[in-house]
Amino acid sequence: MFASDHPMPRPTHRVLRGLIALSLAVSASVVFAQSDKDAEQTKRLRLQMRQIQQQQQEAQEAQAKADQARQQAEQSLKAQESDLQKQRAAAGNAQRKAAVLDKELEKLKADHERLKADLAALTEKHQGVLATAKAAQEKAAAAESRLTQEGQQLTQQLQRCTADNATLVGLGNELLVRYESKGLGEVLSANEPFVQTGRVKLENFKSQYGQRIEAAKVKAGDSPAR
């Protein structure tokens, strides 16, 4: 508790009463005492009055100091109350800021978890795409290799067919040359009728060249082994 709640007792009134009583006593002594004894008593009373006045002055000074101390205490109390209010306000602001920061932290945590899940999903999807792309590349490489091999085989087959066709052309030309080179004397033999001899020879030529042409056709129609 401070001095403002319980003010210090003031001795001024008691001192004044004492002075008044002493003054009355001195006055009575002056009026009624005429002897040396009365004069001595008056002297003592005056000395006591001076002492009382000195005590009164000291009491007033003490009272002034007490009032000053009380005022200082009140000012200090007001300052402390002001500081306390400021501290309370600062604490309230800090609590509100802490609450806001907590909410932001929770939001950041939720965003982090969501991004983490999205990243995991994207990673899994990316891995699936990579696997699909790898399989497609392997399939394309296998198809390219197979097509290259088939192309080579078809090229070889084409070369064989070209050679066989050239053989067939040669056979045909040979057949034409042989027929063109036949004379009338060979056809009209003296010992055989014309029709019978010509038919037999034609059958022989047909059989001979037919076998050769058929052999060439079989070669051209062969499929390459896979």
Q: How confident is the model at residue 169 (pLDDT cuts 50, 70, 90)?
A: confident
The pLDDT score that the predictor gives to residue 31 is 53
Task: Give domain limits for the chain.
Answer: 12-96
224: left (phi over 0), alpha (psi -120 to 50) or beta: beta
| Contact yes or no for 184/192 (Cβ under 8 A) | no
The pLDDT score that the predictor gives to residue 224 is 44
> Residue 226 gets which letter from DSSP?
-
Q: What does the pLDDT average to over 17-42?
A: 63
- Tokens representing 22 are 């002493």
Residue with the bigger pLDDT between 26 and 212: it is 212
| Contact yes or no for 46/29 (Cβ under 8 A) | no
Q: What does the pLDDT average to over 131-159?
A: 90
The pLDDT score that the predictor gives to residue 17 is 67
Angle (nearest 5°) at CA 34 between 29 and 38? 50
End-to-end CA gap in the chain: 113
10: left (phi over 0), alpha (psi -120 to 50) or beta: beta
